[in-house]
Amino acid sequence: MVVETTEALDFLSVLGLEDKNPGVSTGLQWFDGKGKYLTSNSPVDGQLIGKVKSATAGEYEEVVEIAQEAFKAWRKVPAPKRGEIVRQIGEELRAYKEPLGKLVSYEMGKSYQEGLGEVQEMIDICDFAVGLSRQLYGLTMHSERPNHRMYEQWHPLGIVGIITAFNFPVAVWAWNAAIAWVCGDVCIWKPSEKTPLCSIACQKIANRVFERNGIPEGVSCIVNGDRKIGELLAKDTRIPLVSATGSTRMGKDVAAKVAARLGRSLLELGGNNAIIITPNANLEMSIPGVVFGAVGTCGQRCTSTRRLIVHKSMLAKVKKSLTRAYAQLKIGDPLDEGNHVGPLIDKDAVQNYLNSIKAVKKQGGKMIVEGGVLKGKKYESGCYVRPCIAQVENDMDIVQHETFAPILYVIPYNKLEDAIALQNAVPQGLSSAIMTSNMLEAEQFLSCEGSDCGIANVNIGTSGAEIGGAFGGEKETGGGRESGSDAWKAYMRRQTNTLNYGTSLPLAQGIKFNI
């Protein structure tokens, strides 16, 4: 493990990561079982960071049984008290923000600033969940029957299974776990096999709080492993809700398995996000938003800007501005804050990037800024690529698919109605934006005839959502909602209660039943 030889990577030891890490935990207990090791190699320099023991089917079974017992106790803890535990986890994350942000950057490849931002999202959702713990409101309704009271209340579901992707290796877990915990649920987390060390670090941070407060073992569990572990979660009737983040292909598979047992799934899947630039856009503000959206996390966000729909009168100017901006991008080690763009996650992602560029050219696209794999000593991991731009038609097959890489497609339009139609004419429906200083254009974009996405922004880009609003999208994005607003309802079951405080038994709808 590099930690012992490289002073710059001392954050690994600060987080308690070892050469070989047990990858299964129920909180107080770590399983060092018979599962195979997952190796974590950094895309930054290609070095082996460490190994994580994956779960066996038997260990998975043991974890679920412990989580079931934990739920029986945790659900009885008053919600504000559960919120206090989450508050303390937020404080612990504040203390470890820098080393955890560095780990996210080094294991996943996003810039250090983005790594810090991801940990800040975890802190923010903990703060949100603390307030939520006192606001799990139901409704009261007037009964049609005399001396009757009607109301609804919300109860915890039980075990929440959380499947996360490599591109946000810690934040998406926190989005789910923090809210699930204040709702009274317990969690079993199946992290991405590409970023297993991030999960170990998060579990250790949460464990400190749970142990200090005497919280039952099993409230927070992790089961590292390959897709077989995810399948166990999806098929398990003891897990009422599975929240899965990843590709549309993966989501369809999870959804089918969960639906087959009539369970619930919360899906956050692919995005094919567009920004519309109208003649009324402020380009000085728009171009940085486009560039960050397209190249941030090396194009590996579900909210990354994939398509730029530009009015024909602005096309030449926008292309010139983008070309100038892309020429200034610094690509390299994401822990160096002077760099804008880090690596792709692995060489498979690099090959997918190259195949997509080849498909763009074959299908008639014209390159505005050429791409390619970067060579040289500082790019020795083989995962660094050049962000590129191509002018295309929206109906090209390659444009209809999500490419998890820094490839931006420029598409011209004539009328705003055409631009909105182009924006909506893809299978995905996550994030969207319009750049305009015209109120009528903005309102048209936000109307029921406008963007069909779960997120629609005006004069900001497609990525960088705040936790206060519900996050998620429509169509092949899966329809799930996480994080803010009333997303908490997905983690609870609604119960309608009718209470008769009279001495007779009138029936609803005036039905007479005399015996």
Q: 302 an active-site residue? A: yes
Distance CA 125, CA 262 (A): 29
Smallest Cα–Cα separation from 203: which of 229, 170, 234, 230?
A: 170
Residues 6+ apart with CB under 8 A from 52: 20, 21, 22, 23, 37, 38, 40, 196, 197, 199, 200, 224
- CA distance linking residue 199 with residue 204, whole number of Å: 9
Question: CA–CA distance from 348 to each of 119, 141, 218, 353, 388 (Å)?
Answer: 27, 56, 35, 9, 18
How far is residue 15 CA from its own chain's centroid? 23
Q: Rounded CA gap, 302 and 389, in Å?
A: 18
Contact 86, 126 (CB under 8 A): yes
What's at 78, amino acid-wise? Answer: P
Of 193, 268, 476, 482, which one is the catalytic site residue? 268
Angle value at C-alpha 177, between 334 and 120, nearest 5 degrees: 35
Q: Cβ(431)–Cβ(463) under 8 Å?
A: yes
Give, rounded to a whole angstrom, the gap between the first and last alpha carbons of the chain. Answer: 80
Chain position carrying tokens 């579901």: 157
Tokens for 269, please give them. 């899947």
Active-site entry in 187, 302, 383, 453: 302
Q: Which residues are catalytic?
A: 268, 302
